[in-house]
Amino acid sequence: MSKPTLHIPAVPARPGEAPDFSYVHLAPAGAALRPDPRVPVRETVELADSLIRVLDEEGKARGAWDPKLEPSVLLAGLQNMVLTRVFDDRMQRTQRQGRITFYVRSYGEEAVSVAAAAALAETDMLFPSYRNQGLFLARGVSLVDLMCQLLSNTRDMCKGRQLPVMYHSAEKRVFSISGNLATQYPQAVGWAMAAAIKGESQLAAAWIGEGSTAAADFHHALTFAKVYKAPVILNVVNNQWAISTFQGYAGGEQRSFAARGPGVGIAGLRVDGNDFLAVYAATQWAAERARSGEGATLIELVTYRAGAHSTSDDPSRYRPREEFGEWPLGDPVQRLKQHLIQIGTWSEAQHEALLATVEEQVATAWKQAMAFGTLNEGEKLDPKLMFSDVYKEMPAHLQLQCAQMESGI
């Protein structure tokens, strides 16, 4: 008789080994059926285990999930993805130069944020993780505002209190990012419950990484979303890696993350996260479902974290350097560009021109942001700001400590 042994999830390739993505369950573009968004949950079981793809190898849009977007929408999407990437690259270099203390790129997973933002209404509320800068950019938060937050300078929206990348925008309806994982998930459900209580049609959308699905807050969110049929879209960005921990350690072996949706009783979709059209279409489907009162959808966006976890991390210690080049779902920017060229609204030359324009836009914004100071140079935030906003009114003991700080240092 065999005995139980502890199963250790297998990591497909470590440094020095050839990348191996044979574990990624693929499906051809256009193969997935698109049911009416009001279908019962059980009719999404297959979609939660499949892979919704629209763009094929040649950049043609295929199948029932093609959202048939106007070229202007596609172009705006491409511009925002390029902007996100150029912004990320520039800020990463800035961190290396010591001007900001920390940075997180979204390299390789830009479509996840940009396509979703395009598919949602501007009044819908977004609850991002720290790798969703594309949401802020697609919603039109200014580059200078984001950069000033990174610099903790005199125009920092967080008044110097937060790590870089922990942005927010009440005006554009993007919630304050927390450094703690998955906390925004049940909060998004609560926001959506409030919309339902108030009889309003806005919905909430939230994003977490696949690693964070292990956190209890993920399960709290799904349960509350199911119980109250909350108008919420719960996105799991499966970028394969949580720092050094492979997605198998979050339970990704054998069964998709999307399948947990129907498991709990909400709809589930597994989507090619590097396919702008597929992400747009899935978000649109889930939004229609939520707005029609059929409740939440769990969307797994299959993508790849092409960069490091953050500027504090060196991924060459735990995975092969060549992995991104071998990633079967490619590069989201390249794929949308190829599609636009394929349909005759874009060219290599136009793309080069776009890149140059965006580089210039980011460089100009950086100069403007730097004029408000950096952590170490130029004008500084008043340290007294440390004591405000702890409470609405500053209590006596904080007033005293603030005075002590001013007199002492």
Partner 1 sequence: MSVTSTMNMVQALNSAMDVMLERHASVVVLGEDVGYFGGVFRVTDGLQKKYGAHRVLDTPIAEGGIIGAAIGMGVNGLRPVAEIQFADYIYPAYDQIVSELARLRYRSAAAFTAPLTIRTPCGGGIRGGQTHSQSPEGVFAHVSGIKTVMPSNPYDAKGLLIAAIEDDDPVIFFEPKRLYNGPFDGDPDKPAQSWLGHPMAEVPQGYYRVEIGKASVAREGSAVTMVSYGTMVHVCIAAAEAEGVDAEVIDVRSMMPLDMDTIAQSVEKTGRCLIAHEATRFAGFGAELSASIQERCFWSLEAPIERVAGWDTPYPHAFEWQYFPGKQRVQRGLRQLLNIEG
Residues near 310 by Cβ (< 8 Å), separated by ≥ 6?
A: 102, 103, 104
Amino acid at 172: K
CA neighbor of 138 nearest in space, from 308, 276, 278, 344: 276
Residue 387 engages partner 1 in binding (rule: CB under 8 A): yes
Residue 216 engages partner 1 in binding (rule: CB under 8 A): yes
Residue 2 engages partner 1 in binding (rule: CB under 8 A): no
Contact 389, 168 (CB under 8 A): no
Contact pick of 178, 223, 361, 368 for partner 1 (by CB under 8 A): 178
Residue carrying the six token digits 């396509």: 115
Residue 398 engages partner 1 in binding (rule: CB under 8 A): yes
Residue 372 engages partner 1 in binding (rule: CB under 8 A): no
Residue 396 engages partner 1 in binding (rule: CB under 8 A): no
361 φψ region: left (φ > 0), alpha (ψ -120 to 50), beta (else): alpha
Contact pick of 73, 157, 215, 341 for partner 1 (by CB under 8 A): 215
Residue 390 engages partner 1 in binding (rule: CB under 8 A): yes
Three-state DSSP at 197 gives: helix
Between the two ends of the chain, the Cα-to-Cα distance in Å is 72
Residue 381 engages partner 1 in binding (rule: CB under 8 A): yes
Between 86 and 188, name the residue whose CB sits nearer to partner 1: 188
Residue 329 engages partner 1 in binding (rule: CB under 8 A): no
Contact 295, 255 (CB under 8 A): no
Residue 152 engages partner 1 in binding (rule: CB under 8 A): yes
For the chain, what is the radius of gyration of the CA atoms?
Answer: 22
What angle, rounded to 10 degrees, do the helices at 276-291 and 332-342 form?
100
Residue 273 engages partner 1 in binding (rule: CB under 8 A): no
CA neighbor of 355 nearest in space, from 381, 337, 339, 378: 337
Contact pick of 47, 126, 174, 181 for partner 1 (by CB under 8 A): 181
For the record, the structure tokens of 151 come out as 């610099």
Residue 369 engages partner 1 in binding (rule: CB under 8 A): no
**Number of shown-chain residues binding partner 1 (CB under 8 A):** 49
Residue 101 engages partner 1 in binding (rule: CB under 8 A): yes
- φ and ψ at residue 378, rounded to 5 degrees: 75, -160
Between 338 and 374, name the residue whose CB sits nearer to partner 1: 374
> ∠ CA(247), CA(253), CA(259), 5° rounding?
95
Residue 375 engages partner 1 in binding (rule: CB under 8 A): yes
Residue 13 engages partner 1 in binding (rule: CB under 8 A): no
Judged by the rule CB under 8 A, the positions of this chain that interact with partner 1 are: 6, 8, 11, 14, 101-102, 152, 156, 158, 160-164, 166, 178-181, 211-212, 214-217, 242-245, 249-251, 312-313, 317-318, 375, 381, 383, 385-387, 390, 397-398, 401, 405, 408-409
